[in-house]
Chains A and B, each alone.
Chain A
Amino acid sequence: MPRWGMVIDLDKCTGCQSCTAACRVENNVPFAGPEQAELGRPIFYNEVLEEEIHGHYPFLKTQFVPRPCFHCENPPCVKVCPVEATYRDKEGVVLMDYGRCIGCRLCTTACPYAVRYFNWSAPQFPAPLDQALNPDVPARPKGVVEKCTFCTHRLRAAQAQAEEEGRELSDAEAVLLPACNQACPASARYFGDLENPESSVSRLSRSHRAFRIFEELGTEPSVYYLKSE
């Protein structure tokens, strides 16, 4: 049984935000517009965070940290959901059941990484922008929570394809499977099976540069970062 994880190399990341853009296009994430953006409501399944600049002028330092959902093994969000609208599937991906979510937002407040987002109003895709919607990803109504799914629709399609061809999904196919990974010009992102010790993500997760965010919380994130030199 594979356990999906991701590795992001912070040394290579150039802060270009291709991942953010690709994810939003792939997953039919609505844009918020200026007023809603001012209020803090845009949805970014993947968001590039920039650390607070430290140091003294001109010896300044900062880091760009692309942040998808961490698909924790011990997810605080799944724990607190009253109706099991969010759940961790057998392969380790934390998913949403949009049809069941009651919009109580306990999961969004429980997540220490703030990776979960809420549809404060019905997503708008003024015609003809709705023509560009990806048919593989369900539309969400207002009032439900959504977040990064590790592009589970792509994963399932690739697995189905592999099964049809009578083989396993290879590591090479997996690495660039999510939209964010595929778009990254710096090839800074990897996806794959953490249960397979030979996969790229497994090997990289054992690197001396590897770390996870807030490991002390015991959430066991499935996303590893490789720190810059």
Chain B
Amino acid sequence: MTKITRRDFIKLAGISAAAASLSSCGRERLLSIWRQPNGPSTTPPSKSAWVPTVCRICPAGCGVLVRVVGGRAVNVQGNPRHPLNQGKVCPRAQAALQVLYDPDRIQHPLRRTSKRGEGQWERIPWEEAIAQVARHLMSIRQAGQSHTLLFLHDAPPGHMQELIRRFCQAYGSPNVVAADGLDAERLTHLLTQGWFDLAAHNWEETAYVLFFGGSFLEDWQPQVHMLRAYSYMRRGRPDRRARMVQIGPRFSVSAAKADEWVPLLPGRQGALALGMAHVIIRERLYDHDFVLNHTEGFADFVALVQEQYAPDKVAGLTGVPAETIQRLAREFVGNRPAVAVAGRGLAEGTNALFSHVAVHALNALVGSVDVPGGVLRPRQPPFTPWQPAPSEGPSQPRLDGAGSLAYPLAASALHALPERILAGIPYAPQVLFLYEVNPLFEGAGASRWRDVFQRIPFIVSFSSFMDESTRYADLVLPNHTFLERWVDGTPPGGLGVPTVGVGRPVVGPLHDTRHTGDVLLTLARTVGGPLPDLFPWRDFEELLRFRTHGLFEAGGSIQTDSFDQFWRELVEQGTWVGAPYTFGQWEKVFTTSSGRFQFRLNQLEETLSELGVNTGHLGLEGKVDVLALPHYEPPRRAGDESEYPLHLVPYRVIADAGCRAPNAPLLWEMYGLHLKEMWQNWAEIHPETAHHLGISDGDHIWVESPQGRVRLKARVYEGAMPDAVNVPLGGGHTAGGRWASQVGGGNVAELIVPQTDPVAGTVAWCSTRVKVYRT
């Protein structure tokens, strides 16, 4: 064996050691195959198409463009043409792809094979499913029991909503119950201005905004419009920066972005507004011109306000110092155009209507009604009018009591249903249809709806997701997701100028689902009676074509010679915009009998006396003559103060898409920005309160109300009021898909004692008291 000398050995060792650190020059060329740098797009632009449609994840209906590559939807952006969002979207629209491609979607019609709620289903063909529903409807109708059809929905403003209403009307049921919770605002406009709708706003000119109630940057309709408006009001006008004040129960995103946060427990908005009114009136700072020429009942209003709502008294009612009330009032009148907004979120109590009325009265005081920067009446798009629907037989009272002695002026009262159905008042429903609504999760008292469902012999859900309510159905006729179907939408409130969004299916249906609109039209044809004539359209697209003919005739943003051309353009552009808003058309703005803004709510007065309703019966405190003026109706609170010392404040975060996207991991992973929480909800507690109760940040606690209790993660949050507990809606799912079920926390709806605003019929989300304690 050759002897390796130590010298050689060491030389070799030295060289090898150096080899470990050789530079990369020369090697790079050799091994450049290993490198995979970021390169240009792998898809030539021509292969992808951008298809306009209307986002249906929330009621706003922003116009969106969806990128389709090889038959797959891969991106969602805003449609620049749609005046509501002008090319922008909120995070929920981004989740549309996760809605479409949700692995847990219901893929075909299902019939229950086990007991309700046990989750055993068999697949049945569409024909059979529709036939079964039709049989039910026909037999009920033949027995003269059409009114026992109960249709619960939260269809956003658009033709699904219209179709549902008309279907029920033609079928003979008054029981179309909407769940959107915004009727207090609508009723306010009906009583003060004569029309039942949300207001539109002209934010471009507004100089000062008082937001009472919910977080306008997280829980507003239409949300994206407000986000854009915020930016514009702050920095869009070089000479003017709008000032904003958030009055509400928590230091929300909006409170952080506003100039001032005025802590106020829900239900007390009316008092604060009237306190401000007192100051404005006392100092004669109101818009004399407007008040003189366009209002009625001002003198009565003045008398009431001067007597009852002095700042000191209001300070006692609200906890807001008298100096603040005075300052806010002076700011409000000193920065015109100024607008007072009562909120479109969950911050409503049992006095929702009167809160809204008091707040809206401020707008009248400063003349911000139908002026640039003020509160406008939305102009409805000139759709082709429906054929009048004949009503067969005597009209039956509604199941939810809306319009009756119980809720004389309400259009619907969803949360009054359980009590009435369980008591069998006024009759028993036999069929329940569920469309984009999940009462077993989102209804006040949540699980008590199970008992309600058990009383109804036949339940059909049109949901795309196996959510809590759909699990209790007998038959599931799954809808297409909005990217797979014809959609349309008119923004709720919003712009003033008539706007319509229309969208065709972006991708073909992934599964064996069907457009619920098409299903309803098929049912109409099958059920018979007056329905086939009233619903001559083969499918939803044809219905849209019929209705949008009116838009074609009106001209607006699409002017063509033929309707076919118009329709093609409409589908290609995704939106139609009508004539710009003309201010000061008083005959349109005030359709009250007086043709003026009513400080005196005559219609309320008249309706109550007509029905012979005792205000005490309604749970209202004042006498009718006070009731008929903007006044402070103290909120009722469920739960005794001594046992339940804290106020429960449920709220929505912007990432909460409710039952329309329960299983989108994208949204759950950005759920709680301010507390850096993901995939669960929590209970916010003020530091002093937490300390007093021995609760540390992150502890698990029970939050208990007279209705029930849920287990939540406590978060000590300085932005909570000392006597409030803030819990976001969304956590605590037990169904809806694999990701929905993994979301931690508890369902705040379980805690809500069902109470309703007796006049507007809206659920009182914020009228429950709770106690909290460690687990």
Mark the stretch among A71-79, A126-134, A195-203, A216-224 that contacts chain B. Answer: A126-134
Mark the stretch among A13-21, A106-114, A165-173 that contacts chain B. Answer: A13-21
Contact check: which of A14, A64, A135, A183 meets B77 at CB < 8 Å? Answer: A183
Q: Flag B33-44 by CB within 8 Å of A: 1 or 0 each.
A: 011111111110
Q: Flag B742-761 by CB within 8 Å of A: 1 or 0 each.
A: 11100000000000000000
Q: What is the distance, in angstroms, from B230's C-beta to the closest C-beta of chain A?
A: 6
A100 within 8 A of B: yes
A14 to B218, CA, bound (A): 9
Highest count of chain A CB atoms <10 Å: which of B70, B668, B673: B673
By a CB distance below 8 angstroms, the chain A residues around B37 are: 95, 97
- Please give me the residue from chain B that is nearest to A85 by CB atom: B35
Q: Are B103 and A18 in contact (CB under 8 A)?
A: no
Contact check: which of B74, B669, B718 meets A32 at CB < 8 Å? Answer: B669
A134 to B679, CA, bound (A): 25
Q: What is the distance, in angstroms, from A47's C-beta to the closest C-beta of chain B?
A: 9
Q: Are A21 and B91 in contact (CB under 8 A)?
A: yes
Q: Are A185 and B85 in contact (CB under 8 A)?
A: yes
By a CB distance below 8 angstroms, the chain A residues around B78 are: 182-183
By a CB distance below 8 angstroms, the chain B residues around A134 are: 74-75
B76 within 8 A of A: yes
Q: A58-B251, A100-B36, A183-B88 are in contact. Are A128 and B41 (CB under 8 A)?
A: no
Q: Are A34 and B231 in contact (CB under 8 A)?
A: no
Q: Are A25 and B76 in contact (CB under 8 A)?
A: yes
By a CB distance below 8 angstroms, the chain B residues around A38 are: 678-679
Q: Are A186 and B253 in contact (CB under 8 A)?
A: no
Q: Are A37 and B257 in contact (CB under 8 A)?
A: no
Contact check: which of B38, B85, B234, B655 meets A12 at CB < 8 Å? Answer: B234
Give the total of A residues in contact with B, Cβ under 8 Å: 65
Q: Which residues of A, 60-118, contact B by the 8 Å Cβ criterion? A: 60-64, 95-100
Contact check: which of A57, A63, A96 meets B38 at CB < 8 Å? Answer: A96
Q: Flag B296-329 by CB within 8 Å of A: 1 or 0 each.
A: 0000000000000000000000000000000000
B73 within 8 A of A: yes
By a CB distance below 8 angstroms, the chain A residues around B75 are: 25-26, 134
Q: Are A15 and B231 in contact (CB under 8 A)?
A: no
Contact check: which of A31, A62, A128, A156 meets B103 at CB < 8 Å? Answer: A128
- Please give me the residue from chain B that is nearest to A186 by CB atom: B231
B217 within 8 A of A: yes
Q: What is the distance, in angstroms, from B389's C-beta to the closest C-beta of chain A?
A: 40
By a CB distance below 8 angstroms, the chain B residues around A157 are: 40-41, 45
Contact check: which of A64, A95, A182 meets B256 at CB < 8 Å? Answer: A64
B72 within 8 A of A: yes
Q: Are B679 and A37 in contact (CB under 8 A)?
A: yes
Q: Are A135 and B74 in contact (CB under 8 A)?
A: yes
Q: What is the distance, in angstroms, from A71's C-beta to the closest C-beta of chain B?
A: 13
A53 within 8 A of B: yes
- Please give me the residue from chain B that is nearest to A20 by CB atom: B670
By a CB distance below 8 angstroms, the chain B residues around A50 are: 673-674
A136 to B40, CA, bound (A): 8
B563 within 8 A of A: no
Q: Which residues of B, 58-116, contact A by the 8 Å Cβ criterion? A: 69-70, 72-78, 85, 87-91, 94-95, 97-98, 100-103
B590 within 8 A of A: no
Q: Flag B730-746 by CB within 8 Å of A: 1 or 0 each.
A: 00000000010011100
Q: Which residues of A, 124-163, contact B by the 8 Å Cβ criterion? A: 126-136, 138, 149, 152-154, 156-157, 160-161
A50 to B655, CA, bound (A): 16
Q: Are B88 and A131 in contact (CB under 8 A)?
A: no
By a CB distance below 8 angstroms, the chain B residues around A34 are: 668, 678-680, 742-744
- Please give me the residue from chain A that is nearest to B218 by CB atom: A16
B135 within 8 A of A: no
By a CB distance below 8 angstroms, the chain A residues around B95 are: 21
Q: What is the distance, in angstroms, from A182's C-beta to the closest C-beta of chain B?
A: 6
By a CB distance below 8 angstroms, the chain A residues around B358 are: none
Q: Are A182 and B77 in contact (CB under 8 A)?
A: yes
Q: Are A11 and B235 in contact (CB under 8 A)?
A: yes
B224 within 8 A of A: yes
Q: Are A21 and B45 in contact (CB under 8 A)?
A: no
A22 within 8 A of B: yes
Highest count of chain A CB atoms <10 Å: which of B85, B510, B678, B739: B678
B666 within 8 A of A: yes
- Please give me the residue from chain A that is nearest to B216 by CB atom: A14
Q: Flag A27-54 by CB within 8 Å of B: 1 or 0 each.
A: 0000111100110001000001010010
Q: Are A18 and B673 in contact (CB under 8 A)?
A: no
A25 to B100, CA, bound (A): 13
Contact check: which of B90, B227, B719 meets A60 at CB < 8 Å? Answer: B719
- Please give me the residue from chain B that is nearest to A42 by CB atom: B669
Highest count of chain B CB atoms <10 Å: which of A26, A31, A188: A31
By a CB distance below 8 angstroms, the chain A residues around B719 are: 53, 57, 60
By a CB distance below 8 angstroms, the chain A residues around B97 are: 25, 129, 132
B517 within 8 A of A: no
A45 to B228, CA, bound (A): 24
Q: Flag A184-228 by CB within 8 Å of B: 1 or 0 each.
A: 111110000000000000000000000000000000000000000
Q: Are A186 and B94 in contact (CB under 8 A)?
A: no
B275 within 8 A of A: no
- Please give me the residue from chain A that is nearest to B676 by CB atom: A50
Q: Are A16 and B231 in contact (CB under 8 A)?
A: no
Q: Are A61 and B256 in contact (CB under 8 A)?
A: yes
Contact check: which of B103, B666, B722, B739 meets A21 at CB < 8 Å? Answer: B666
Q: What is the distance, in angstroms, from B335's C-beta to the closest C-beta of chain A?
A: 16
Q: What is the distance, in angstroms, from B110's C-beta to the closest C-beta of chain A?
A: 19
B263 within 8 A of A: yes
A149 to B253, CA, bound (A): 28
Q: What is the distance, in angstroms, from A160's C-beta to the closest C-beta of chain B?
A: 6
Highest count of chain B CB atoms <10 Å: which of A18, A50, A183, A185: A185
Q: What is the distance, in angstroms, from B402's C-beta to the closest C-beta of chain A?
A: 34
Q: Are B227 and A37 in contact (CB under 8 A)?
A: no
Contact check: which of A14, A61, A128, A229 meets B217 at CB < 8 Å? Answer: A14
Q: What is the distance, in angstroms, from A142's C-beta to the closest C-beta of chain B?
A: 16
Q: Which residues of B, 229-286, contact A by the 8 Å Cβ criterion? A: 230-231, 234-235, 241, 251, 253, 255-257, 261-263
Q: What is the distance, in angstroms, from B692's C-beta to the closest C-beta of chain A?
A: 15
Q: What is the distance, in angstroms, from A124's C-beta to the closest C-beta of chain B?
A: 10
By a CB distance below 8 angstroms, the chain A residues around B85 are: 185
B166 within 8 A of A: no
Q: Are A185 and B101 in contact (CB under 8 A)?
A: no
Q: Are A129 and B98 in contact (CB under 8 A)?
A: yes
Contact check: which of A17, A26, A126, A160 meets B91 at CB < 8 Å? Answer: A17
Q: A95-B37, A96-B38, A229-B241 are in contact. Are A25 and B234 (CB under 8 A)?
A: no
By a CB distance below 8 angstroms, the chain B residues around A161 are: 45
B665 within 8 A of A: yes
A37 to B742, CA, bound (A): 12
A59 to B26, CA, bound (A): 64
By a CB distance below 8 angstroms, the chain B residues around A11 are: 234-235
Q: Can you offer 16 A-B residue contacts whose CB atoms are under 8 A?
A: A16-B217, A17-B670, A21-B667, A22-B94, A26-B75, A57-B719, A61-B256, A64-B673, A100-B34, A127-B103, A129-B101, A132-B101, A135-B70, A182-B87, A187-B88, A188-B231
Q: Give me 18 other A-B pairs in contact (C-beta within 8 A), A11-B234, A98-B36, A128-B103 excluded.
A: A12-B235, A17-B670, A18-B94, A20-B670, A21-B667, A22-B77, A25-B94, A31-B666, A38-B679, A57-B686, A100-B36, A127-B103, A128-B510, A133-B74, A138-B36, A157-B40, A185-B227, A229-B241
B residues whose Cβ falls under 8 Å from a Cβ of A? 34-43, 45, 69-70, 72-78, 85, 87-91, 94-95, 97-98, 100-103, 217-218, 224, 227-228, 230-231, 234-235, 241, 251, 253, 255-257, 261-263, 510, 654-655, 665-670, 673-674, 678-680, 686, 718-719, 722, 739, 742-744
A residues whose Cβ falls under 8 Å from a Cβ of B? 9, 11-12, 14-18, 20-22, 24-26, 31-34, 37-38, 42, 48, 50, 53, 57-58, 60-64, 95-100, 126-136, 138, 149, 152-154, 156-157, 160-161, 182-188, 229
